[in-house]
Amino acid sequence: MKSRAVEQDLRLLLAVFNWAMVVRDTDGKRLLSANPFAGFAVPHEENPRRPILTHDEFEQLLAVAPSITPAMATLLVVANATGHRINSIRLLRWSDVDFHGSTIRWRGEQDKIGHEHDTPMVEAARHVLLKHRLRTGVTGASGWVFPSPKDPGQPLSRHLARDWWERTEVAAGIARIPGRGWHSLRRKFATELKAASLKDLCALGGWKDHNTILKCYQQPDPAAMRQALENRVALRTVCSRN
């Protein structure tokens, strides 16, 4: 198991034990008198892997995605255009997609942090989703945008989405990098939109806290860094007039 996953699981376990020390049963007794993990040091990964996908690599994946399945190409474009987690994307229903208003609704119950919000839908995403709907022949608004190939009544599983990603990487001839997967597109989204205000970027990608973007998603961009240096303005002494 990855160190980051172990850390998250242990923190969740500690939170459950702390909760049990506060909640009382029908007799007024606490569910847990003491936290058995009190004082336990949770291991922390100092330098977690957060690889990012470049746009060139994205185009390589997109070029071969239809050979895996047409739905994979649609998933890639939507993930790249919205910057959202793959779990939120695979759980979209057609009622969440407003083709007339060009917006997508992200339901709170399908979101990792329970954040329900609407985002603009760019033309690239609108185009592939319209083609995807025509290709799948779905007419009902309640249907899954990305149904399971085996059971249309169920959404695409996260395991199959991961399998499609790995197969597409192989087909594109892109080297496998540990930690790189669908989330690398979310990092790409945050990094490419550095020029946007953090408030707008939070709204676009479904983040509640802009510190999360700075800490976990945006990556240093050598080209942007060089441009910043070239645009540097010298600080001059301002003489005040008496």
Whole-number pLDDT of residue 1: 43
Three-class DSSP category at 229: helix
Instruction: Give residue 36's pLDDT.
Output: 76
Weakest mean pLDDT among 3-12, 96-105, 200-209: 3-12
Which is more confident, 36 or 7?
A: 36
Q: How confident is the model at residue 34 (pLDDT cuts 50, 70, 90)?
A: confident
Instruction: Say which amino acid occupies 140.
Output: G
Cβ neighbourhood burial of 74 (10 Å; 0-12, 13-18, 19+): buried
- DSSP string for 5-51: HHHHHHHHHHHHHHHHTT-B-TTS-BS-SS-TTTTPPPP--SS----
In the DSSP assignment, the letter for residue 110 is: G
Q: What is the pLDDT of residues 147-159, one digit of tens each?
A: 999 999 999 999 9
Q: What are 37-70's pLDDT values in tens digits?
A: 676 666 555 556 788 999 999 999 999 999 999 9
In a domain, 236, yes or no: no
**Does 136 share its domain with 21?**
no
Report the percent of the chain where pLDDT is more than 90: 55
99 and 4 share one domain: no
pLDDT class of 163 with cuts at 50, 70, 90: very high
How far from the centroid of its chain's Cα atoms is residue 67's Cα? 24
The edge-to-edge listing of strands for the beta sheet with 117-120 is: 97-98, 103-106, 117-120
Structure confidence at residue 221 (pLDDT): 82
User: In this structure, are 94 and 28 located in the same domain?
Assistant: no
Which residues touch 131 (CB under 8 Å, ≥6 apart)? 74
**One domain for residues 130 and 165:** yes
**Residue numbers of the domain that contains 3:** 1-48
Amino acid, single-letter form, for residue 215: K
Question: What residues are paired with 24 via a beta bridge?
Answer: 30
Is pLDDT of 12 > 50? Answer: yes
Q: Does residue 168 lie within any of the structural domains?
A: yes
Residue 131 lies in a domain: yes
Residues 7 and 71 grouped into a single domain: no
The CATH number covering residue 116 comes to 1.10.443.10
Does the residue 241 lie in any domain?
no
Q: Is the dihedral of CA 122, 132, 94, 57 positive or negative?
A: negative
Instruction: Average the pLDDT over 153-173 and give the result.
Output: 96
Q: What is residue 21's predicted lDDT score, i.e. its pLDDT?
A: 80
63 domain-assigned: yes
Last residue of a domain, one of 33, 48, 63: 48
SS3 4: helix
**Structural domains of the chain, count:** 2
What does the pLDDT read at residue 43?
A: 58
Which are the contacts of 28, defined by CB distance < 8 A and separation ≥ 6?
Answer: none
First to last CA, the chain: 69
